[in-house]
Structure 1
């Protein structure tokens, strides 16, 4: 028994290593750079406060990154292949150079203004382009690797929380400057992996929908709504953070950035559970718990008590972590299914997100004094933000456009069994049955078998394809999974159903 468990554990780790390579976590170093640059003393040890509003170069950088994200998304989205490697190097170098210049600005008063502008432009353009490039690269991995890599990359933020705030000035600056360079190197290696696997680049992701159903136009509207919702969410978070008093109190009271540490861990854990236990993750379903966290953080705004600030900052970090990861993940998933260009989708999602951060923080900073002077200023703001954010949910009623269109096309193909030209849609399908089992009967039988035999959500989904005689290559193409992943799921299905061939499996549905 012990040997069997050890063998199983070794197999799990070997599969994990095959799908999750360290280089795929490079986007996490970009997130760590954002944390180290604007939320710690690593680069600016002399400034008062750890909030992003405490640094004058932030507004320049935040404005530049919004422009860079939309522009890079549009430009790279028009390419039919992966970008030249010099673009990757230039993006990482510009981000690192801008960080170094911003650290030099306080030491050179005569050049302070010029350095602030130069650093803001370099960091904004560099980080925005790097972000879009990462979104494009991650979308070209197989879906299992993507779903593992994006949440796992966020754990790098946890490590940065434990290290960056406590480094002395020179080391803190050097460490923060090195983060975009590390991310750049890992991005280079990821693109190299993509090229070795024979992926033709972004154009290969834009395949037509099954069943003749056009998805890209509908998906564009869906992503526009997602971008609007991200803008509103981050505008609310940014405004509340700018007007909330003593936002740095937990850090100075406990000597460690516990809200960011706890919030990041909880956000990663919640999102991992959502990915693992949901067959087809949708943004609107994920956003429901995020919306609760944002509204709760707004409700705590009027209280200046240490623990109220601590809880509000923790809830804000949970929402920020989940939104940041999910925005990248859902763009990658849509790109894999041909519903959205990866570069363009990343530019829209992240550009809207950063625009919300900019607008919220600037507006909150401008009105902070007036709000603090009013007797009920914070209560009014808290109520207004909560109501405004709740109404904004109407912009995103139900994110079924991408998933439903794809499912409709697949179901049509399964029921009809032929394409528009009359040819079979799946070369691996079993011979045509003049009296096929109805689709609803098959679905019900799949559900009963999944419940009685303990199939996972993904195994139950694949069982539905197998029950209709679909081949493994067809399943891999439809679900955008790797060959080994589908083979492993099929093996587990056979074991749990105690069958040894496809015909035996089909006999269970007769």
Structure 2
């Protein structure tokens, strides 16, 4: 009961992202078009995945320089709606490609490519919105939206033409549900002050790089370290490889139900852990949760003859979804801490993943053409188990070094790694010390903390159940005691303390 009470407090607008996941399950992973009497069906599931992923990679690659040059262009409402219309029309072309006679195969292929482009723009739009959420809401909203997608997709799965019609309207719905103010706060970070960001509806945690105080805190050109890029590539390559080895022609409707069940079960476990312990999942979680499951499942399959690979494939898809969800959460946190457009951050992360999947699909196709699937599973699984062990050991070593603190050049002093939560806690401690030193009243201290978080005066009045005029009076007194004149000077004062 407590879990559902916490879910009820989450911003419901964030759940619209579930429609994006719903389209992925219905149009790419499920046999929707294979069951449709109007689809040309020129290819299997893995080939359809290749086309949509390849076209999506083109969009992500183009979005990176475009987002850096013109941060607000891909975050416009018109871009989301246009992408939704394009993706819906392309999905319709796939669903009814059989009506085009001899040109049906060409229409299906073209629809796959265009749909991948449209759905990728919607992905970036939702990424910008999630980067504007409060950090505590990112993880639970991500998992809840995914669970809602699984539930809704299961209701229309294996319904023939009805399933195709649902897949057609989903992209448009996902685009229309992107909040109109999805990225105002982050776009303002490139142009203005924390007060401008707060005015756009985005809250700021004190001490975080999102205060737009120094570009040195985050690198706009390398938002992800090399080790993280390697992790994304390995995980994505594994999915592409096993996508062909275990499900070369696309799952049946029965298999798809099992896939959804396993995905929902693992996501629910994630949600329970996140909500119960208020933890944040990091890059190491991908090592410890996703890749071991992929390798272990394929290893078991390679030494035991199940005949039907449906269960193992369902486990692997579920593990991949766990990694996808974790990466989405981290993309949002990285984008929030960056001075650059969140579109560029999400595009770079997703492009890396798309390249890995494409490489896995291509290598698997070549292997299947040269060897039997049964002879490939054991060596492939063993190779991934070794790789997971090496990567996991490296991650553990880095965590230990970070915990102990790296040696500072010219001395033996250790500098402990400090994440956003540590910085926020340190900023709050500084504010409390300032309040005590300057003789601030408890009410002024409370308002001081909220101002540092980016709250506007109306928002503070609402939270503290005060009149706007009362809050304004306290703010003026606060500014007078600290000898500052506006919010920016107030934030600078906190950072210098």
TM-score by length of 1: 0.69
Instruction: Provide the C-alpha distance between the structure 2 equivalents of 1:221 and 1:184, rounded to a whole number of angstroms.
Output: 26
Instruction: Provide the C-alpha distance between the structure 2 equivalents of 1:356 and 1:484, rounded to a whole number of angstroms.
Output: 49
Q: How much has 1:226 moved relative to structure 2?
A: 2.6
Among 228, 231, 244, the residue aligned to 1:229: 231
Question: Cα gap change, 1:12/1:291 in structure 2, threshold over 3 Å: closer, same or farther?
Answer: closer
Asked if the contact 2:50/2:361 (under 8 Å) is kept, the reply is no
- Structural mapping, 1:373-384, within 5 Å: 376-384=375-383
Question: Cα gap change, 1:56/1:380 in structure 2, threshold over 3 Å: closer, same or farther?
Answer: closer
Q: Check if 1:184 corresponds to 2:178.
A: no
Q: Which moved more, 1:334-343 or 1:159-168?
A: 334-343
- Structural mapping, 1:346-365, within 5 Å: 346-365=346-365
- Structural mapping, 1:36-185, within 5 Å: 36-45=26-35, 53-54=44-45, 56-81=47-72, 83-168=75-160, 170-185=161-176
DSSP 3-state at the match of 1:317:
helix
The RMSD of aligned alpha carbons is 4.5
Q: Check if 1:404 corresponds to 2:404.
A: no
Q: Which position in structure 1 is the counterpart of 2:298?
A: 298
Instruction: Provide the C-alpha distance between the structure 2 equivalents of 1:270 and 1:51, rounded to a whole number of angstroms.
Output: 37
Q: Which position in structure 2 is the counterpart of 1:429?
A: 435
Instruction: Provide the C-alpha distance between the structure 1 equivalents of 2:226 and 2:394, rounded to a whole number of angstroms.
Output: 10
Asked if the contact 1:44/1:103 (under 8 Å) is kept, the reply is no
Asked if the contact 1:60/1:117 (under 8 Å) is kept, the reply is yes
Q: How much has 1:307 moved relative to structure 2?
A: 8.1
Q: Which moved more, 1:262-271 or 1:172-181?
A: 262-271
- 1:53-74 residue CA offsets vs partner (Å, 9 max, x unmatched): 4365543322110121232244
Q: How much has 1:235 moved relative to structure 2?
A: 0.8
Asked if the contact 2:77/2:180 (under 8 Å) is kept, the reply is no
- 1:76-131 residue CA offsets vs partner (Å, 9 max, x unmatched): 34445473221111111111111111223333243235424431331121111110
- 1:123-142 residue CA offsets vs partner (Å, 9 max, x unmatched): 12111111011100121123
Question: Cα gap change, 1:319/1:223 in structure 2, threshold over 3 Å: closer, same or farther?
Answer: farther
Q: How much has 1:335 moved relative to structure 2?
A: 2.8
Q: How much has 1:379 moved relative to structure 2?
A: 1.7
Instruction: Provide the C-alpha distance between the structure 1 equivalents of 2:246 and 2:58, rounded to a whole number of angstroms.
Output: 28
Q: Which position in structure 1 is the counterpart of 2:327?
A: 327
Aligned positions, number: 429
Asked if the contact 1:69/1:348 (under 8 Å) is kept, the reply is yes
Q: Which moved more, 1:125-134 or 1:360-369?
A: 360-369
Question: Cα gap change, 1:202/1:280 in structure 2, threshold over 3 Å: closer, same or farther?
Answer: closer
Instruction: Provide the C-alpha distance between the structure 1 equivalents of 2:330 and 2:247, rounded to a whole number of angstroms.
Output: 35
Instruction: Provide the C-alpha distance between the structure 1 equivalents of 2:31 and 2:314, rounded to a whole number of angstroms.
Output: 19
Among 422, 445, 449, the residue aligned to 1:474: 449
Question: Cα gap change, 1:201/1:98 in structure 2, threshold over 3 Å: closer, same or farther?
Answer: farther
Structure 2: segments with no counterpart, 5+ residues: 188-196, 404-415, 466-497
Instruction: Provide the C-alpha distance between the structure 1 equivalents of 2:146 and 2:461, rounded to a whole number of angstroms.
Output: 26
Instruction: Provide the C-alpha distance between the structure 1 equivalents of 2:421 and 2:454, rounded to a whole number of angstroms.
Output: 10
Instruction: Provide the C-alpha distance between the structure 2 equivalents of 1:312 and 1:483, rounded to a whole number of angstroms.
Output: 52
Q: Check if 1:207 corresponds to 2:204.
A: no
Q: How much has 1:188 moved relative to structure 2?
A: 4.3
Instruction: Provide the C-alpha distance between the structure 2 equivalents of 1:191 and 1:413, rounded to a whole number of angstroms.
Output: 27
Q: Which position in structure 2 is the counterpart of 1:316?
A: 316
- 1:394-449 residue CA offsets vs partner (Å, 9 max, x unmatched): 7756476997254665576678x5xxxxxxx679632279xxxxxxxxxxxxxxxx
Q: How much has 1:341 moved relative to structure 2?
A: 4.1
Structure 1: segments with no counterpart, 5+ residues: 1-7, 418-424, 434-468, 489-510
TM-score by length of 2: 0.71
Question: Cα gap change, 1:77/1:271 in structure 2, threshold over 3 Å: closer, same or farther?
Answer: farther
Q: How much has 1:314 moved relative to structure 2?
A: 3.2
